[in-house]
Structure 1
Amino acid sequence: MENHQHEKKTLWVVLLTAVTMVVEIIYGLTTNSMALLADGIHMGSHVLAIGLSWLAYVIVRKVSKSEKFNGSSNKILSLSGYNSGLFLLIFAIVIMVEAVDRFFNPAEIVYKEAILVAVIGLLVNIASAFLLHHDHEHSDHNIKAAYLHVIADALTSLSAIVGLIAAMVWDIPFIDTIAAIISSLVIIKWSVGLLKDSGSVLLDINNSTEHSHGHQH
């Protein structure tokens, strides 16, 4: 019943992330804080990706009851993990583009407020990471993808906190940018690993390499 456990956990994380997202967007709009708004929107991309992971467990649960389905439920979880990996890659590239843009067009940062948001984001992500923590030996690509999204978000929150505090204390605004770029590179590395792992399951590369050549795009 491991999948069922994972299904419940991912649903909790989706709800937790969605609530944080709504709060951040509302506060971002009312306080004119770009940092809050941006973080809220980033949260949205994770709600989508982790929502996808949850949906994959629901589908597996439904199809495993069906007599017609004789495929591998592992494939469904890997497909979800693969799509999630793509989300993660796009997320990292967007942060990088934003950071570079910020580097050339420095914005006035409302430090205390931005730090507060980043701290809230970090706490939500830590709670989510505990919920999604799993034994790597028994994990599927789907739960791994959901877990990576949460960790990636925690990493960006953490780099934002460090960057903002350094920028505030030493008045060096571009530390924030450097922190964001470093986070992006780490997230890109994770997402590529996830795409490779889940992609090889989808293409049956482990079982028959020659069979998979026909499917490669």
Structure 2
Amino acid sequence: MAHTPHYRPCDMVKDIASDYGVHVPYHQAWCGREVAVQDLHGDVRTSYDMLRWYSERVMETNPGSIIDMVVDEETHRFKSYFPCFAACAYGYEVGCRPLIFLDGSHITDKMQGVILAASALNGNDELFTIAFAIADSETYENWKWFLNNLKKALLSGRRTMFISDRAKGLKEAVPEIFPMDHHGYCLRHIKANFMTEAAARYRKALKDSMVKTLNKVAFTLNESCIYTE
């Protein structure tokens, strides 16, 4: 399991039958996989229980970090967690252009949820993570909470360009929390969304032509980009 983290229960059933001639029910293979994953990586619930301890260690070893953990007031259950290490905030300030990419990614384990992230590009055009968060879903409220914490973590007020995929909540939250900054949209996501929404409306040749036109528009210089020596 350590070398094959994506080893599926159905593959385990096939391999055991092929190697040993023994039929193992799918549920039994799934339970065995869960035990192996827990032995290798620990119990997920226990990991969430250790977040307070982890936050204290972060503040001890990386003072100046911004951490915010939200717990439901009634049930006292975990809701969301935001860490921005002081070293990451400093690294973004001194080593990255004022360009921040915002995106979310689904968590596929049994606890579900999403990871919200703010990233930049360093001097080598490599991805540099500024901050991230764990939340229950990608909503306006969660993005607003995330961006408020990100604003606290940034070390200067330099104007920034935010790039996103226009995900639910981002379109409204960015101008609300960063009203003086710019907000652009990822061209790749715009084209992918267009191809999906236009799948049943236009012929392929027409869709391809429209995407080519969109590329030309996106990369066309305007007057402010043209200068003469």
The TM-score, its normalising length taken from structure 1, stands at 0.31
Higher helix content, 1 or 2:
1
Higher strand content, 1 or 2:
2
Q: Which has the higher contact order (CA 8 A, sep 6+)?
A: 1
